[in-house]
Structure 1
Amino acid sequence: MSAAPTRRAILSQAWPIMVAQASIPLVGIVDTAVIGRTGEATALAAVALGSTIVNFLFWAFGFLRMGMTGLTAQAVGANDGAEIAALLRRGLMLGGLLGAVLLILQSLLVPAALALMAGGGALDVATRTYVEARLLGAPAALAFYAANGWLLGVGRTRAALVVQLILNAANIALTMLFVWQLDMGVRGVGLGTACADWIAVAAALWVTRAGWRGTAAALFDRAALARLFAVNRDLMIRTVALLTLFGWFTNAGARLGAETLAAQQVLMQFVAVSAFILDGFCFTAEARVGAAIGARDRAAMLRATRLVGEFCLGTAILFAVLIAAGGEAFVALLTTSAEVRAIAAGLLPLVALVPLIGTPAWLLDGVFIGATEGRALRDAALASTAAYVLTDLALRPWGEVGVWIALLAGYGWRAIALGLFWPRLMRRLAPARAAP
């Protein structure tokens, strides 16, 4: 990974991630369409609610991806081969263990999650069926997070693309098989994803097999483990705060009825596509910033941030135009419900603003994750989530329009909060003063 990045180098590193990330929301689109084409609003709402619960449970451990990328990139910048290998093994071990814990505790976690959501009745039953099926893949999903983060950290973005495409292709094929051919309904959607998680982690273990070298002493090095857990603790709190924000957002839609929640699920596919593809550049920022910090190269870090920012802004403008121009036609492909289509059409102008307003927050996330500034990420997420909740409460009289304006404000609050920590990051990279 070159110390002074160029636009060509940034794009070369980012495009495989962008392709991989673009295929992730495709899975959500297929899941939504497979259920949505049945015309059952309750089933579609159950997938929306269940996905929120599973995402909360899984992405509470999203530090396995984010922390791994930042720490590995810094080890690359410092030319520490032994630590690079040890980080992979630590991440895989930790991910598998945490996933097993989720699977064991599901009888406690699922009812508690449903109790917090504004569902009830048939919606709760369908949602529980989906969540329990998804959790069968928990150990594989969390181990996959670690492997993917490691690949991004060492700059092997094409290998990361391969394993992500295997995951998503398996997910799509199995979901269509279970739902359309075997008539398994929402359980089929969840089970298809769980099976795909196991297929993907097997592929990731094969792709990363060269990183398994090393000693047990390196694997359990106390100082390295302490740093791993310190960074991951803050990232976990940060992730839980942001998942709380999106859980609140989903619950806000659920309060307004199954049709509004279903429309919200359809519209979130636009947000997912925009965010995941832009993440291709933001993940590149993580690796580039991490390597620059490992090498103590402030100039390379600033240049990487600026170049990635240019690509992010141009892509965000493109997505805003596409959503505004083609949104209604796309909504019609995902659902046959006239009520859901009408609600979604009225909200499209707000949805088109998400890429533009979300980009600063996503870019700064990448920079601070690469710098392993866990405390800044944690504090910014807590503050912005609190500000979002207050904004949503204030806008409740505006119905579904208020729900989406509050989400836009949430992205703005997050960017502002992270921006306040920028001077501290710059001080960390300031050149050392010469001794008198």
Structure 2
Amino acid sequence: MTLQQWRADWQHADTRRRVWALATPMILSNLSVPLVGLVDTAVVGHLQHAHYLGAVAVGSMLVTFVLWACGFLRMGTTGFAAQACGRADGQGLRLVLLQALWLAVLIAIAVVLLQRPLLELALRFIDSSPALIEQARLYVGIRLLSLPAALANLALIGWFVGLQNGRAPLYLLLLVNLANVLLDILLVMGFGWGVAGVAWATVISEYTGLLFGLWLALQLLRQHAGQFRWLDALRLRGAAPLLRVNRDILLRTLALELVFYLLLVQGARQGDAVLAANAVLLNFLMLASHGLDGLAHAIEALGGHAVGRRDRTALRRALVVSLGCSLLMSIGFALAFMLLGPWLIQLLTGLPEVRELAVRYLPWLALLPLVAVWGFLFDGLFIGATRAREMRNAMLGSVLLVYLPLAWLLRDAGNHGLWLGFHLFMLARGLSLAGCFVWLWRRGRWIPD
């Protein structure tokens, strides 16, 4: 592409309008997710002992591990729904939705049945205080009750995005997260339930959101002719492409989760205060990642729609606009974290030692949006094209060839070494995806003739 073409694509008014029409509600809804984490941290961070905050951090990470591992329910659903929408295939839209919801139910049943051995295995490697481990076990046991609803909500959000409808996920996530925040305050600060109150708040809010999300889906399907094929969905008939994509996204997500788990384990070995400080800072990362994910969702939907219609020009314009907007947003997050970070840390915890450590390592988090933006954007591009195999390979290469060797080499460098390795991993992830896309695009393999 020439510089003139880049400029023309960036200034294309219709593409900008479509990108922001999708991205704005997704950014707003996505940002409500880490705000729940901020409230969780704030209400628990002002309890008497640091192990309460550490327990919520450990418990949330373990449950999030399951939810992120099942992120294929959202990502895989988005790509296939977007391509069905591009083909004006109402029957296909219904089948994708039913199959994704059925997979969510099956996975939730399997995890609940295996929760005890999985939880004990995960906690065995957390080298922390007995009080922290006990509270973490309590938190996870309650939170897993919300798993069927949480996984079904992931599938619904992916399906909504595939239909290029940004408002439905906004309404769904705002309802879930607003309910979560209000219940957090009521159950923890009002009723004094502590860690258990944080967990029960999530359970109640997820099931509330599921009922609302199903109602929204039925309203949207009135615009697309077709019928529900219940038996085909339950038998997963014709679901082989969806299952293959979900398998590859699962492997990719497990590799990413391994990185976050090692980050948690290595921080825990440096003491409860370091673990709690890292937990506070990870809320900053969640805030930035969910904001950048809003633009990634836009390229998922527009990119998948362009693949369904075999429209190279529309895909190129959507990518250029999304790339420029993502870079501007990452700069904004970096500046906000550097300027407002100390104030946010004081808001999140009243423990002096945790505050001091979090401020010390804040610059790593302030720079992270500039490093991580490439991975978020190109993830969205590959998801829309249902190219999960390439995503899997890029992630595995970044973990095996970059993060794990660095984690070993920097093991004596303390928490600074921990964050340095994480930065280099995020950079490798984004660059590998970008290189793969350029290679496929130049050879005409991204949208075949």
Bin for the TM-score computed over the shorter chain: over 0.9
- Give the match for residue 112 of structure 1: 121
- Offset, 1:38: 1.2
In the alignment, residue 52 of structure 2 is paired with which amino acid? Answer: A
Q: Would you say the 8 A contact 1:39–1:336 is kept in 2?
A: no
- Which residue identity is paired with 1:374? A
- In the other structure, the counterpart of 2:365 is 351
Q: Which of residues 270, 282, 289 is equivalent to 1:268?
A: 282
Letter in 2 for 1:125: E
Q: Which amino acid is 2:388 matched to?
A: G
Structure 1 counterpart of 2:445, from 399, 421, 428: 428
Q: Distance in 2 between matches of 1:424 and 1:94?
A: 33
| Residues 420-429 or 337-346, more deviating | 420-429
Does the aligned pair in 1 maintain the 2:98–2:230 contact within 8 Å?
no
Aligned match of 2:74 in 29, 49, 65? 65
How far apart, CA to CA, are the structure 1 residues paired with 2:206 and 2:218? 18
Q: 1:404 to 1:34 in 2, by over 3 A?
A: same
Deviations 1:103-140 (A, max 9, x none): 22212221111113233511111110011110010111
Q: 1:227 aligns with which of 227, 238, 241?
A: 241
Q: Indicate which of 290, 295, 303 corresponds to 2:309.
A: 295
Q: 2:68, 2:331 → 1: CA distance?
A: 28
Amino acid in structure 1 at the alignment position of 2:437: W
Instruction: Compute the displacement of 1:217 (Å).
Output: 5.6
1:367 maps to 381
Instruction: Give, in whole Å, the separation in 2 of the partners of 1:165 and 1:106.
Output: 29
Do the aligned partners of 1:71 and 1:372 also contact (CA within 8 Å) in 2? yes
Residue 421 (structure 1) shift: 1.7
Q: Is the 8 A contact 2:102 2:233 kept in 1?
A: no
Q: Which residue among 413, 416, 420 is the counterpart of 1:401? A: 416
Match of 1:411 among 408, 422, 426: 426
Question: Aligned ranges for residues 130-141 of structure 1 at < 5 Å?
Answer: 130-141=139-150
The partner residue of 2:393 within 379, 386, 396 is: 379
Q: Distance in 2 between matches of 1:321 and 1:4?
A: 28
- In the TM superposition, 1:71-110 aligns within 5 A as 71-110=80-119
Match among 246, 270, 277 for residue 256 of structure 1: 270
TM-score under structure 1 length normalisation: 0.95
In structure 2, runs of 5+ residues without a counterpart are 1-11
Classify the secondary structure of the residue corresponding to 1:381. helix
| 1:254-277 alpha-carbon deviations (Å, 9 max, x no partner) | 111100010111111111111101
Shift of 1:401: 1.0
Q: CA deviation at 1:347?
A: 1.0
What per-residue deviation string (whole Å, max 9, x for no partner) do you get for residues 64-85 of structure 1? Answer: 0010111100111122111011
CA distance in 1, matches of 2:431, 2:17: 30
Contact 2:97–2:159 (CA<8 Å) still a contact in 1? yes
Mapped to 1, the partners of 2:235 and 2:147 lie a distance apart of 27
Q: How does 1:309-324 map to 2 (within 5 A)?
A: 309-324=323-338
Structure 1: give runs of 5+ residues left out of the alignment.
none
Contact 2:323 2:377 in 1 (8 A): yes
1:152 to 153, 161, 167: 161
The two structures, once aligned, show a CA RMSD in angstroms of 1.7
Letter in 1 for 2:154: Y
Q: Distance in 1 between matches of 2:317 and 2:15?
A: 8
- The percent of aligned pairs where both chains have the same amino acid is 38
Aligned counterpart, 1:169: 178
Question: CA-to-partner distance for each residue in 1:237-263, whole Å, 9 max, x for gaps?
Answer: 111111111111111111111000101
Q: 2:218 aligns with which of 188, 209, 216?
A: 209
Secondary structure at 1:119 match in 2: coil
Which residue is equivalent to 1:391? 406
Give the counterpart of 2:23 among 14, 17, 30: 14
1:216 to partner: Cα distance: 3.2
Q: TM-score, normalised by structure 2?
A: 0.92
Query: Structure 2: how far apart are the matches of 1:173 and 1:11?
Result: 29
Distance 1:276 1:430, change over 3 A: closer
CA gap of 1:88–1:294, structure 2 versus 1, over 3 A, is: same
Distance of 2:387 and 2:316 partners within structure 1:
16
Q: Among residues 170, 188, 193, which one is paired with 1:179 in the alignment? A: 188
TM-aligned CA deviation for residue 222 of structure 1: 6.2
1:308 corresponds in structure 2 to 322
Distance 1:104 1:284 in 2: 36
The one-letter code sitting in structure 2 at the alignment partner of 1:396 is R
Deviation at 1:393, TM superposition (A): 2.0
Instruction: Indicate the larger mover: 101-110 or 128-137.
Output: 101-110
Q: Whole-Å Cα distance in 2 between the matches of residues 10 and 429 of structure 1?
A: 20
Q: Indicate how the Cα distance of structure 1 residues 82 and 334 shifts in structure 2: closer, same or farther if over 3 A, else same.
A: same
2:8 corresponds to which residue? none
